[in-house]
Structure 1
Amino acid sequence: MTTMSVPTTPGLTERVLDLRGRMLEFIDGEVCPLERTVDAGGPEGRAAMDGLRAEAKRRGLWALGHPEDLGGQGLSFLEFVHLNEIIGRSEIGMWAVGSMTQHDTIMWRRYGTEAQQRRWLDPLVSGEYEWIGIGLTEPEVAGSDPTQMQTSAVLEGEGEDAQWVINGHKWFTSWASASPAVLVWAKTDPEAPPHRQFSAIIVPVDTPGFTHVRDIRTMGSVTGRHGEIRLENVRVPASNLFGERGQAFAIAQTRLGPGRIFHCMRWLGQMQRAFELMCDRARTRYAHGSLLAEKGEIRRYIAESAADIQAHRLMTLDAARAVDAGSEDARVLISLIKFRGAEYLHNVIDRAIQVYGAAGVTEDFPLESMYRHARYARIYDGPDEVHRMVVARTLTKDGAVAPWQR
């Protein structure tokens, strides 16, 4: 009699299975109950987050996907992707366990000099810095077309005295108010081809001429996540160039590709949590002669949500496999999960709110906050329209073969 082997899921190792169980206990038991306190900010919010980060380190759950030589625990890309689904059950989970900067680590390791890594990356992994700001988007031009960026950087002087002089206006600069520096994308070579005109430059926030204008209020909240900054004759050493001159778009994609995978796995955590809340409500809420779970329309919501979650999980794992293998299919697969996953995320949370009725839009439950964040998902890291364009443009080229046909 032949015994059939059971296929294993890449990256879902015994170590990861153990970590997923421990992480679930930490996220649901410690992190979720403090979400409103942390979101409210102020001294209490800061103290709550500091406490969570200390507890994550105590439990061995800190910086799991960062390289060991930087103080992380060295999980592989695919291993970390599986874990990120659990971390994503809470919007603040990634901050509590030091995983928010995982895609930044990939970028800094590839392009940062040894001196830059020691100065900025080491403290980022240890938690001394929560973030190094990312200055890409500008209010005056379409963020979906980064070739329009107007921020300029001119190199003045020679040798050790050479300096970049930067002028520009950025907004939705990630955590500008909480970062020691911002990595600024600026036009350094206006005569070059469009995608070689821009470079990335490290700008410490205490540099004269750097102004943090405000934290941008979005959908009724101010989290400090989105900042507006101005740079007026900001001067930094030529050595603050990050990567090669004219390489900014390649640098951005190195960060954005894995980052989109991480986002999509966190979305799975959000979907699963919303699904669990919806099922709990359906099993316990009585109306019009029966429990909601006994009503056909509510059963349809549950079935549709289950299908959306599983479809997104399989698509995301397939994209993660392609990224991990360095496959040329990765870009199309990432774009597919980015726009379709954002739709699934919205729909699953929306159905859960509908089952809760009026209670679903109150702060008594996490669904209203999850819903607001789900709306962002269709814009950040490339709007849906751009990702659909990437997929269609790639698959309509002569001789194109879809990834699932290989």
Structure 2
Amino acid sequence: MNSQQPPADIEDLRIRTREFIRGTVVPAEPKPGERLDDALREQLQTAAKAAGVFAPHVPEEYGGQGLPIRYWSPIFQEAGYSPIGPSALNCMAPDEGNMHMLNLIGTQSQKLRYLAPLAAGTVRSCFAMTEPHPGAGSDPAALRTEATKVDGGWSINGHKRFISGADGAAFCIVMTRTEASNGTTAGATMLLVELKNPGVLLGDHISTIDRAITGGHPHVHFENCFVPDEAVLGEAGKGFEYAQVRLGPARLTHCMRWLGLARRSMDIALDRAGRREIFGTPLQDLGLAQELIAQSVIDIETSDAIITKTALLLETDPKAGSALSSVAKVYCSEAIHRVVDRAIQVCGGDGVSDGLPLASFLNEVRPFRIYDGSNEAHKWAISRRASVYRAAAVNAGEPYLADVSRDHVQAH
């Protein structure tokens, strides 16, 4: 973990979470390729509550541990040591991101109706933004699902796809395009929609290589779906602004959870390297294996560091933290994939078999380079911000790294 020592109570929670995950959750994991069923999920959540490790990110008034974002990472990493660990602790996507946003911008009645049961683990939720082409995907501005103002509420029409967790969810936070009363575009509005609403139709499931998210990734259709005015989350027309409230931390918590799985992959590789001999020499003493292990240590520690920095920024400067979360998302998603892939290589044939869980881990982490915005879209945004920051520094009369480097070259 990060070298900066957390407070004693946070470290105590981390140790208890570690013991719970490794002692209770790991032995209960489904076979590779199988999903966590609802009965086991409920059983593990009950055990997590009894162990005092349930919902680390949720305010205490809703039954959680009440941790600020800066301390989420060590706990989420311990939870992520098992693919089903975050579900057992009720800090799995998409519920975790929805809880965070509801707590920040929901009304008191919305918190009682939606946040309280979600935080308690008695219901699941989903977040509906992604749409079929040419609708919203990595570019939220392409949003096509519309919500029209009608007497007493809103009427939603649109088609969402890849809505993680939708099958079996109790409600959905839906991103819609809305218009002002004069017919001009007002932006986006988030609406809370119960999935038992007759205007909601659950569509076909999209079969994917990952299995950790309960409820899959189905299509969801909205056909003249009426919701009352009190279904608006926050204010109408501010949906894109609120999306950043959710997506910045949600990107980072993905990094935290999957980094925990990378650590477990590393443990499996180290165990194999310590027990396996090749041509009479322990694998751990061979340079090629040492290179794979060293590179994984570097990827794990670098990921941990950028997660820690981003979490602090999200707490003190949310706008800057959201921007840095793109950097963290890109780096961690690629680094974690490399760690799991190297662990497979160290373990040879067993690594790609069901005898070890590594192949299933690789299936879980690979989609992260696409989920929450493709890495390519994030790199485009990162590049644009770099140009803006450089221009701002120049305008302020401050030396920028590229200018200092150029001056140094010219001087020689």
The one-letter amino acid of 2:205's match is D
Cα distance per residue 1:134-163 (max 9 Å; x no partner):
110012225111111211111112xxxx23
1:301 counterpart (292, 305, 310): 292
Taking structure 1 as the reference length, the TM-score comes to: 0.90
Q: Answer yes or no: is 1:351 the counterpart of 2:363.
A: no
The offset of 1:345, in angstroms, is: 0.5
In the alignment of these two chains, the number of paired residues is 388
Structure 2 counterpart of 1:9: 4
Q: Deviation string for 1:189-231 (max 9, x for gaps)?
A: 28656xx421111111111121111332102759523121111
Matches within 5 A, 1:263-302: 263-302=254-293
Query: Pick from 149, 159, 165: which aligns with 1:155?
Result: 149
Residues 250/294 of structure 1: CA separation in 2 closer, same or farther (3 Å cut): same
| Backbone CA RMSD of aligned residues | 2.3
Q: CA separation of 1:163/1:305 partners in 2, compared to 1, >3 Å: closer, same or farther?
A: same
Aligned to 1:235: 226
Task: Give the superposition deviation at 1:237.
Answer: 1.3
Match 1:215 to one of 193, 205, 212? 205
Q: Find out whether 1:25 has 2:19 as its counterpart.
A: yes
Matches within 5 A, 1:98-109: 98-100=90-92, 101-109=95-103
Write the distance in 2 (CA, Å) between the matches of 1:107 and 1:68: 16
Point out where structure 1 has 5 or more consecutive residues left out of the alignment. 1-6
Matched, 1:322 2:316: no
- Aligned match of 1:40: 34
Q: Determine the structure 2 residue equivalent to 1:365.
A: 356
- In structure 2, what residue type is equivalent to 1:199? T
Q: Deviations over 1:57-98 (max 9, x none)?
A: 111111222111222221222122221111111121111012
Pairing 1:225–2:219 present: no
Q: Which residue of 2 aligns with 1:171?
A: 161
User: CA separation in 2, counterparts of 1:13 and 1:137?
Assistant: 39
Name the CA distance, whole Å, in 2 between partners of 1:92 and 1:154: 39
Aligned partner (choices 79, 82, 94) of residue 74 of structure 2: 82
Out of 363, 368, 372, the position equivalent to 1:381 is 372
Residue 175 of structure 2 is aligned to residue 185 of structure 1: yes
Contact 1:37 1:48 in 2 (8 A): no
- CA drift at 1:38: 9.6
Deviations 1:77-121 (A, max 9, x none): 212222111111112111101222333222102221111111111
Segments of 5+ residues of structure 2 without an aligned counterpart are 402-412
Residue 161 of structure 2 aligns to a residue whose secondary structure is strand
Distance 1:58 1:177 in 2: 28
* 1:172 positional shift: 1.3
* 1:200–1:236 CA distance, 2 compared to 1 (3 A): same
Which residue is 2:304 aligned to?
A: 313
Partner amino acid, structure 2, of 1:345: I
Q: Is the 8 A contact 1:155 1:238 kept in 2?
A: no
CA distance in 1, matches of 2:227, 2:247: 26
**4+ runs of 1 displaced by more than 4 Å?**
190-193, 220-223
Query: Could you tell me how far 1:19 is from its partner in structure 2?
Result: 1.3
Q: How far apart are 1:20 and its partner, in Å?
A: 1.3
Do the aligned residues in 1 keep the contact of 2:340 with 2:358 (CA within 8 Å)? yes
